[in-house]
């Protein structure tokens, strides 16, 4: 019994291209074999809520040998017209904008487009064609094209774009002439030269740094500390203090008895004891003479009379 489609699901470990470590999880790989190559749809995890699926579409051209299919895989020369049509299909309802900036990973230059959905998810569509320069005497043939469609609600655009820098091509064709990468780059001319110093300027390739995070972030449960229990302190009532009696002799001080027959009342003034100076003073009153008179002033004082002599 056969399936109606030529696509078949294979193990995720047989993916022709894999995202960098820390990127979205590879859920499934659908493969179709042709006479002149193979095609794979590498399905990635998706939590964006945007219509469509995160996927890496791979087309690899080369000699298939006995694993060849019956049909031929059409050539895939990427142009901008096809890209705009694919953007409308892959991102319905999302305004995608093709970037005019130059980007290059370890396999060569690539292009990309970015956008943002209404729900706030960031989307990136990147594409690349890897093929050696055709020549009569080179003997190199083969090509690889890929397109990456990723939307994520918790990852920024720059981090999603780093996936295109960290992609790894794992597959190849068993043919000596299959080489879509071209000649290897020349070595540094300082290598092996006496007197030249080569320092380890770069230990890790910055283009393969894993993205920060993909998918929903784990929720952290913070347990609030229990409120401190207030200690109950019982305070005993202070014993009643005896009333304080003021103007009493201090304990231990010598007490001098009051003289007998002592009259402490105010003296009564029956008359004036002032000399006859023309100033008449009534009991309890003060009289100030007019200016020009040479009479003195007299004022009663508590407990007696104070006499002020005239000048």
Q: What is the pLDDT of residues 4-30, one digit of tens each?
A: 667 788 999 999 999 998 889 999 999
Contacts of 65 (CB under 8 A, 6+ apart): 174
Poorest-pLDDT segment among 133-147, 176-190, 191-205, 259-273: 259-273
> Residues 141-194: pLDDT tens digits?
889 999 999 999 888 999 999 999 999 999 989 888 888 988 888 888 889 999
Cα–Cα distance measured from residue 304 to residue 144, given in angstroms and rounded to the nearest whole number: 131
Q: Which residue has the tokens 């500390």?
A: 225
- What predicted TM-score, i.e. pTM, was given to this entire model? 0.64
Cα–Cα distance measured from residue 69 to residue 72, given in angstroms and rounded to the nearest whole number: 8
């Amino acid at each position: 019994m056969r399936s109606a489609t030529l696509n078949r699901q294979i193990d995720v470990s047989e993916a022709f291209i894999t995202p960098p470590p820390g990127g979205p999880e590879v859920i499934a790989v659908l493969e179709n074999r042709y006479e002149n190559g193979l095609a794979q749809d590498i399905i990635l995890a998706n939590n964006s809520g945007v219509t469509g699926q995160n996927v890496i579409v791979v087309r690899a051209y080369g000699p298939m040998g006995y694993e060849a299919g019956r049909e031929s895989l059409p050539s895939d020369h990427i142009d901008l017209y096809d890209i705009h049509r694919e953007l409308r299909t892959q991102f319905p309802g999302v305004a995608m904008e093709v970037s005019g900036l130059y980007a290059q990973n370890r396999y060569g230059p690539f292009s990309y487009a970015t956008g943002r959905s209404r729900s706030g998810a960031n989307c990136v569509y990147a594409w690349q064609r890897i093929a050696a320069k055709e020549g009569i005497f080179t003997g190199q043939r083969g090509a690889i094209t890929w397109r990456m469609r990723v939307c994520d609600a918790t990852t920024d655009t720059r981090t999603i774009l780093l996936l295109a820098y960290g992609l790894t091509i794992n597959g190849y064709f068993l043919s000596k002439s299959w080489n879509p990468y071209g000649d290897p780059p020349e070595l540094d001319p300082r290598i092996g030269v006496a007197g030249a110093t080569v320092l380890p300027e770069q230990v890790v390739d910055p283009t393969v740094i894993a993205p920060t995070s993909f998918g929903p972030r784990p929720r952290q449960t913070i347990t609030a500390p229990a409120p401190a229990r207030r200690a109950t302190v019982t305070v005993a009532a202070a014993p009643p203090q005896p009333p304080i009696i003021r103007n009493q002799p201090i304990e231990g001080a010598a007490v001098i008895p009051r003289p007998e027959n002592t009259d402490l009342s105010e003296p009564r003034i029956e008359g004036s004891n002032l000399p006859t100076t023309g100033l008449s003073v009534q009991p309890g009153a003060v009289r100030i003479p007019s200016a020009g008179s040479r009479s003195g002033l007299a004022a009663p004082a508590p407990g007696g009379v104070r006499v002020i002599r005239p000048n």
